[in-house]
Amino acid sequence: MDKLKVMRVRPGACLPARATQGSAGYDLAACLDAAAVIPAGGRLMIPTGIAIAIGDPGVVALIFGRSGLGVKSGIVPANAVGVVDSDYRGELMVGLANHSDMDYTVRHGDRIAQMVLTPVLTPELVECGDLSETARGASGFGSSGR
């Protein structure tokens, strides 16, 4: 995928941008007419003012939190990771959760999340009666130690 089509769907929307040449993600910014407050312990949908056309069914856009916002302020995507399917054409909205004990104000242009494009596999599912054995087997959470 060489190009990603991006369309502003609200006046004043900021186009996604990579902070450095080595950045994996494109920063997404809030597109707001007025400041929005995410109450302590609350959640709020924040519009970005943009829509994208991935087009390639072998690609997905994943919406992750921004490290500094999460660590410093407790503001993270409400659903942990957002998934933008290749055929979605609506405005990108970011649900944010405030895990802090203080209200948090989001203003127009604030970078609120990052979008990473990555390949996606969609193999044919084959139901079977058993699965091959491995050394780990069915051992789950914490079973491999530290």
The confidence score (pLDDT) of residue 137 equals 84
Question: Mind listing the pLDDT tens digit for each residue in 13-63?
Answer: 999 999 999 999 999 999 999 999 999 999 999 999 999 999 899 999 999
Please say if the pLDDT value at position 142 is more than 90: no
Tell me the average pLDDT across 56-84.
95
Question: Mind listing the pLDDT tens digit for each residue in 105-141?
Answer: 999 999 999 999 999 999 999 999 999 998 888 888 7
CB 79 within 8 A of CB 95: yes
The confidence score (pLDDT) of residue 84 equals 97
pTM here is 0.90
Question: Which domains are assigned to the chain?
Answer: 5-119 (2.70.40.10)
Cβ neighbourhood burial of 122 (10 Å; 0-12, 13-18, 19+): exposed
